[in-house]
Structure 1
Amino acid sequence: MRRHLPWTLATLTALLLATTRTLDPTHALLLPLTALTATHLWRHLDDGDQATWPAPPDETRHGARHDLSDLGWAAFTRDGRVSARVTRRVHAIATHRLAHHGIDLDDPTHHPRAARLLGPDVLAGLTSRRPPTPRTLHHWLDALDDLTPHTPDPTPGRPRR
């Protein structure tokens, strides 16, 4: 019964269009037959082979262009502040740079010495959870760049070069 349903609907549609004189009998018959043929072809034609893109190479190297691009896109939040990811990275750099001076940034007892080297505003920003503005981040990076690596003098009486 279901197989004959489309043909029955096409015949009824042709009769309706012809008897109401919406279309002449020839076109009233051709319109439903064309729709029926198009539906039949649509359902039974093969889609063919689907082209697929090759998988991108999964080659991630430390410090590669991917990391730089990833950090660049993730640097700022929607409100224009520096993202937490970048802030954590700058905090790690500060921890590493201050460790050369014997200062632990996570230890509050070392904060006065860190404030003398970096400045109290930079230290307050690095130890807070509030996201900085791009200008503040630039100031922090300048302060970290100004830190000279602390290398102890091998001979105390002799001046360093």
Structure 2
Amino acid sequence: MRRHLPWILALTAAALLTLTRTLDPAHALLLPAAALTLHHLWRALDDGDQATWPEPPDETRHGARHDLSDLGWAAFTRDGRVSARVTRRVHAVATHRLAPHGIHLDDPTHHAAAAHLLGTDVVTGLTSRRPPTPRTLHRWLDALDHLPTPPGRPRR
């Protein structure tokens, strides 16, 4: 039945067009026949191969471009200070960079040694909960970038 539905609709349309005297019988048959032909041509056309985009990788590597983009968008709060998320990430980087020196940033007894390498204001800022300004963050990153290589380790 489903296969014959377009034919039934075309003949019904032709009959209605003829009975209502909208079209003469010849044109009343030709109009649904043309529509039926277009329907069959449309169904017969092949869509071809659809090009698809490759799936993005699921894993996110630490320090990947995705992380940098996220940090860039989430860097500042509405009042112009650096967000807590960025401050936590910089604190994690500082902890990682100080570990080869035998310094644990979360241990208050190591703050003097960390201050010797990074500077007192940097260590105070990294260990406080107060959000820094962009200029202060820049100073922290410069201090971490200029951190000396621990003895016995090659610089990357």
TM-score with structure 2 setting the length: 0.59
Partner of 1:74: 70
Residue pairs, 1:68-147, within 5 angstroms:
69-78=65-74, 80=76, 81=82, 84=85, 87-88=88-89, 90-99=90-99, 101-115=101-115, 117-127=117-127, 134-147=134-147
Query: 2:71 aligns to what SS in structure 1?
Result: coil
What is the deviation of 1:102? 4.0
Partner of 2:33: 33
What is the deviation of 1:141? 0.8
TM-score with structure 1 setting the length: 0.58
Q: Flag structure 2 segments of 5+ consecutive residues without an equivalent.
A: 77-81, 152-156
What is the deviation of 1:52? 4.5
Equivalent residues of 2:75, 2:85 under 8 A apart: no
Q: Flag structure 1 segments of 5+ consecutive residues without an equivalent.
A: 152-161
Corresponding position: 1:16 with 2:16: yes
What is the deviation of 1:11? 1.2
- Which letter maps to 2:20? T
Q: Following the alignment from structure 1 to structure 2, what is the Cα–Cα distance between the partners of residues 125 and 18?
A: 88
User: 1:34–1:108: structure 2 CA closer, same or farther, 3 Å change rule?
Assistant: farther
How many equivalent pairs are there?
A: 142
Identity rate, percent: 59
User: 1:135–1:2: structure 2 CA closer, same or farther, 3 Å change rule?
Assistant: same
What is the deviation of 1:119? 4.4
- Computed over aligned residues only, the root mean square deviation of the Cα atoms, in angstroms, reads 4.1
Query: 1:76 aligns to what SS in structure 2?
Result: helix
Q: Following the alignment from structure 1 to structure 2, what is the Cα–Cα distance between the partners of residues 108 and 84?
A: 22
Q: Per-residue displacement from partner, 1:43-90 (whole Å, max 9, x unpaired)?
A: 344334x1546969x9xxx9xxx94x44542332357356847853x4
Q: Per-residue displacement from partner, 1:7-47 (whole Å, max 9, x unpaired)?
A: 22111111222332334443332222222222223334433
